[in-house]
Structure 1
Amino acid sequence: MATVEYRQASRIYDPTRPAAVSRMNLSIEDGELLVLVGPSGSGKSTAMRMLAGLEPVDEGSVLIDGKDVSQTRARDRDVAMVFQSYALYPNMTARQNMAFALENARLPKSEITAKVQRAADMLELGPLLDKKPSAMSGGQRQRVAMGRSIVRDPKVFCMDEPLSNLDAKLRVSTRAQIGALQRELGVTTVYVTHDQTEAMTMGDRVAVLRDGVLQQVDTPTHLYEHPGNTFVAGFIGSPAITLIDGVAVRDGRALLGDDHTLDLGLPRELAAKAAGSVVVGVRPEAWQIVGAGEEPQGEASVPVRVALVERLGAEAFAYGDVLTPSSSVTVRGGRVAIRLEKDHERIHAGQTLHVRPAPGGCSFFDPQTEVNLGYL
């Protein structure tokens, strides 16, 4: 087990273009499972490959257990990789694939056998040990690839989107297995994914990247409830948060609507940081439906025309358009996502809902920097 640290670490492919990973500072605790997440091209895989030694560190440094390994060969870093494509030898059985690195290290045969059997027991691979990859399913191949890494007893695991080639049901079961296995082994793990659901369900902490720049690192719950900026707010969470630009701030209150009567509950300690207007974020579950059809009397609300109702069994979501937006207020993406209550069968497309955010249900961002006012 080991700690990992990135210190102002950069990977620069072309000096005339922005860095693939730019001056990243990140500390990973011993035994922690940290997930690097972001859209395609955000630099998450590059950052992990810098740790594994598959990409050079052009500026700054990467440390394992306090030792700078930036100039150390990949084979000497004691880092095990699990790839998206499995990377198994097709002419070898599962047993031979898992034992290959140990045989190259000239370990005693009895030790190799014991390590392979232990990994196979952990991953429930016993019946597959004498089968070749062509006779296995995608999930079984991925487990063999993981077993090949486990037998090495590395300091650090690096997993590069290992579930991307699996179907949806198998992804759910396999990610639970990976999480349980990592806790059992206690090995420091860096896990790369573009799937924010994987990130939120698996990581002890989640690091969000955008265009090579680290945006925020935090526990999944804190990341969801207190996003550092509008990018993190929009990327984490499904359905996505509703972001409303141009919300006026008057007398320390964030007010919505043409008549500025809907108070969004801007906390007093944040009001001093809001100069004239704010960007407001509202999660789908934070919208309260106060009426359908006719506008409710005596309660300020926002009218939303339902365009689509998505029923998912245990829950449902309505997506709609704000009917009377203020000339100065815009909804990013044009649509509002609202989680419906259990009696959602009465809600249908074409209906008008009157909604308002629940008390404490809004996040507030600076319109210039788009940083959460709570972090300024």
Structure 2
Amino acid sequence: MATVEFRQASRIYDPARPPAVSRVNLEIADGEFLVLVGPSGCGKSTTLRMLAGLEPVDEGQILIDGQDVTETRPRERDVAMVFQSYALYPNMTARQNMAFALENAKVDKATIEERVAFAAKMLDLEDLIDKKPAAMSGGQRQRVAMGRAIVRQPKVFLMDEPLSNLDAKLRVSTRAQILALQRELGTTTVYVTHDQTEAMTMGDRVCVLKKGILQQVDTPDTLYNNPGNTFVATFIGSPAMTIIENVPFIDGRVVGGKDHALDYYMPRELAAKVKTDRVVVGVRPENWEIAGVNHAGEQYGLPVHVDIVEHLGSELYVYGSRQEQADSKVAVRGDRITVKVPRGIDIDQGDTIYLRPMEGGSVFFDPETEINYDYL
């Protein structure tokens, strides 16, 4: 087990273009499961490969257990990587694949057999130990790839989208298996995924990247309930947070114009930080209160035309567009409002629903920087 630290670490492919990874500062605790997440091309796999030594660090440093490994060769860093494509030797059995790195390192035969048996039992591979990859399913191959990493007993596990080639059901079961495995071994793990649901369910902390720049590192709970900026707010959470722009701010109060649905006071400590006459408001799908369906109800509500009704078994979501554009300055980003519908309320496509944010259910962002006022 080990600590990992990135100090102003950058990867620059072309000096004429923005860095693929830009001045990342990140500390990973001993035994922590950290997930790197972000859209395609954000630099998450490059960051992982920099830690593995497969990509050079053009600026800054990377430390493992306090030791600078920036210029150290990959095989001397004592890390083990699990790739998206399994990368198994097709002519070798599962046993041979797992033992190969140890044999190259001149580990004695008894130790190799002990470690391979331990990994095979832990990963439920005992019945497959003498089979070759061609005779295995995708999930079984991935378990062999994980076993190959486990037998090395590295300081750090690195996993680069290891579940992306699996079907949905197998992804869920393998995800739980990886998490249980890491908890049992206690090995520091850095895990890359583009799937924010995977990130939220697996990580002790989650690091969100955008265009090579670290946006926020925190627990899944904090990222969801108190995102650092509008990018994190809309990337984390499925369905995404609704972002409402240009909401007037007057005397400590947000004022939603003629719709009245956004008329309420901001928390005093946040209101003191507002230096403009407008703010950006974010609301999660479950934090909308439905004041009425096809009628305004007793309270004012934001009128929304229901475009799509999505049934997900135990949950119901509706996607709609703001119907009454009475206040032209107030705008919904993407013209899409997502609402989680409580049980007992019937809503159909084409209905008009009237919405109000629940008390304490909104997040407020600075309109210029799009940073959450909590972090200013």
The TM-score range, normalised by the shorter chain, is over 0.9
Please name the residue that 1:331 is paired with.
332
Q: Secondary structure at the match of 1:49?
A: helix
Asked whether 1:16 is paired with 2:11, we answer: no
The 8 Å contact of residues 264 and 357 in structure 1, kept in 2 or not, is answered as no
Please name the residue that 1:308 is paired with.
308
**Counterparts of 2:293 and 2:371, CA distance in 1:** 34
Structure 1 vs Structure 2 CA RMSD: 0.9
Report which stretch shifted further, 56-65 or 254-263: 254-263
The 8 Å contact of residues 260 and 302 in structure 2, kept in 1 or not, is answered as no
Q: Secondary structure at the match of 1:258?
A: helix
Structure 2: which amino acid aligns with 1:202?
Answer: M
Please name the residue that 1:164 is paired with.
164
Q: How far does residue 260 in structure 1 lie from its aligned partner after superposition?
A: 4.7
**Counterparts of 1:241 and 1:278, CA distance in 2:** 16
Please name the residue that 1:104 is paired with.
104
Asked whether 1:68 is paired with 2:68, we answer: yes
Q: How far does residue 71 in structure 1 lie from its aligned partner after superposition?
A: 0.3
Deviations 1:96-141 (A, max 9, x none): 0000001111111111101000000100000000100000000000
**Counterparts of 1:202 and 1:232, CA distance in 2:** 18
Deviations 1:181-206 (A, max 9, x none): 00100000000000000000000000
Please name the residue that 2:288 is paired with.
287
- Structure 1 outlier segments of 4+, above 4 Å: none
Structure 2: which amino acid aligns with 1:349?
Answer: Q
**Counterparts of 2:49 and 2:259, CA distance in 1:** 54
**Cα 1:261–1:219 shift into 2, 3 Å:** closer
**Counterparts of 2:259 and 2:356, CA distance in 1:** 15
The 8 Å contact of residues 102 and 112 in structure 1, kept in 2 or not, is answered as yes
**Counterparts of 2:311 and 2:160, CA distance in 1:** 33
TM-score, length-scaled by structure 2: 0.98
**Counterparts of 1:351 and 1:67, CA distance in 2:** 62
Please name the residue that 1:52 is paired with.
52
Q: How does 1:1-376 map to 2 (within 5 A)?
A: 1-258=1-258, 260=260, 262-274=262-274, 275-297=276-298, 299-325=299-325, 326-344=327-345, 346-376=346-376
Q: How far does residue 343 in structure 1 lie from its aligned partner after superposition?
A: 2.1
**Counterparts of 2:210 and 2:302, CA distance in 1:** 32
**Cα 1:234–1:106 shift into 2, 3 Å:** same
**Counterparts of 2:189 and 2:31, CA distance in 1:** 7
Deviations 1:235-272 (A, max 9, x none): 00000000000000011101113265642441111112
Structure 2: which amino acid aligns with 1:343?
Answer: G
The 8 Å contact of residues 261 and 302 in structure 2, kept in 1 or not, is answered as no
Q: Secondary structure at the match of 1:165?
A: coil
**Counterparts of 2:234 and 2:334, CA distance in 1:** 11
Deviations 1:20-65 (A, max 9, x none): 0000000000000000000001000000100000000000000000
The 8 Å contact of residues 262 and 300 in structure 1, kept in 2 or not, is answered as no
Structure 2: which amino acid aligns with 1:110?
Answer: A
Q: Secondary structure at the match of 2:192?
A: strand
**Counterparts of 2:222 and 2:99, CA distance in 1:** 41
**Counterparts of 1:314 and 1:119, CA distance in 2:** 38
The 8 Å contact of residues 227 and 233 in structure 1, kept in 2 or not, is answered as yes
Structure 2: which amino acid aligns with 1:39?
Answer: P
The 8 Å contact of residues 265 and 359 in structure 1, kept in 2 or not, is answered as no
Structure 1: which amino acid aligns with 2:31?
Answer: G
**Counterparts of 1:164 and 1:262, CA distance in 2:** 41
**Counterparts of 1:259 and 1:166, CA distance in 2:** 47
The 8 Å contact of residues 245 and 280 in structure 2, kept in 1 or not, is answered as yes
Q: Which consecutive residues of structure 2, in runs of 5 or more, have no partner in the other structure?
A: none
Q: Matched residues, percent identical?
A: 68
TM-score, length-scaled by structure 1: 0.98
**Cα 1:259–1:90 shift into 2, 3 Å:** closer
Q: Secondary structure at the match of 2:334?
A: coil
Aligned pair count reads 374
The 8 Å contact of residues 261 and 357 in structure 2, kept in 1 or not, is answered as no
Q: Secondary structure at the match of 1:179?
A: helix
Deviations 1:298-322 (A, max 9, x none): x121011111110011111010111
Structure 1: which amino acid aligns with 2:3?
Answer: T
The 8 Å contact of residues 33 and 205 in structure 1, kept in 2 or not, is answered as yes
Structure 2: which amino acid aligns with 1:288?
Answer: E
Q: Which consecutive residues of structure 1, in runs of 5 or more, have no partner in the other structure?
A: none
The 8 Å contact of residues 261 and 356 in structure 2, kept in 1 or not, is answered as no
The 8 Å contact of residues 259 and 300 in structure 2, kept in 1 or not, is answered as no
Report which stretch shifted further, 272-281 or 211-220: 272-281
Deviations 1:316-372 (A, max 9, x none): 10101111132001111111000011224x210001111100000000000000000
